[in-house]
Amino acid sequence: MTELNEQFQELIRVVPIPYPWDTVAYVERVAEYRGRPITLCPIEPGSLSGTGCGTGSGVWIARQHDDVIMYGADTAWHADHIIAHELGHMLLGHGHDGAEETPDTSDLPLRALMPSLSAEAIMSVLRRRDYSTERERDAETFADMLLVEATLPRRRPSPFRSTFFRARHR
């Protein structure tokens, strides 16, 4: 977990957290850092039938030239957390590597959820089952850390902060 904390500190250095917190602005910074646009696609809570990430509500769809984050949330905080979790997978390098056969999405109504989504361009659809337990936990921890960090007061070197993370994530 210490390693994850180090990765996190490095990531917030190269992709600074907007202050005050702004999900869309942060998503744009991550997109710029990765050199691939990210599209946010809100869907009805429950549309993924619990197969998504975290509490079952998020999915990362990698297309040839961009990435889509689908999230079904009933509150703004939940939406932020799902998005942060998926960004965590991206920033921690949890994507599929290389070419693969067309991903099986027959159990997901992707077209209905996002009519503009062209099936041919989809390279991978990453849900909870596609990740190891460790990666799934790391993405969830990343989301927790990011949203805590985002709400902390800025520009005050905080001994509390480091103590907090050490205590929490050891």
Question: Mask 112-151, x = binds Zn ion (CB under 5 A)?
Answer: ------------------------x--x------------
Cβ-based neighbours of 12, under 8 Å, separated by 6 or more: 146, 149
CB of 32 vs Zn ion, minimal distance in Å: 22
Which lies closer to Zn ion via its Cβ, residue 78 or residue 161? 78
CB of 113 vs Zn ion, minimal distance in Å: 18
Which lies closer to Zn ion via its Cβ, residue 125 or residue 139? 139
CB of 156 vs Zn ion, minimal distance in Å: 32
User: Can you tell me whether residue 59 is helix, strand or coil?
Assistant: strand
Burial call 53-92: b when 16+ CB within 10 Å, e when fewer = bbbbbbbbbbbeeebbbbbbbeeeebbbbbbbbbbbbbbb
Which lies closer to Zn ion via its Cβ, residue 116 or residue 133? 133
Which lies closer to Zn ion via its Cβ, residue 80 or residue 136? 136
Q: Residue 28: enclosing H or E segment and its boundaries?
A: helix 23-34
CB of 121 vs Zn ion, minimal distance in Å: 22
Give the whole-angstrom CA distance, residue 44 versus residue 26.
23
Q: Tell me if 4 sits within 8 A of 142, measured CB to CB.
A: yes
Positions in 46-75 near Zn ion (CB under 5 A): 53
CB of 21 vs Zn ion, minimal distance in Å: 21
Dihedral class, residue 107 (left if φ above 0, else alpha if ψ from -120 to 50, else beta): alpha
Residues that bind Zn ion (CB under 5 A): 53, 136, 139
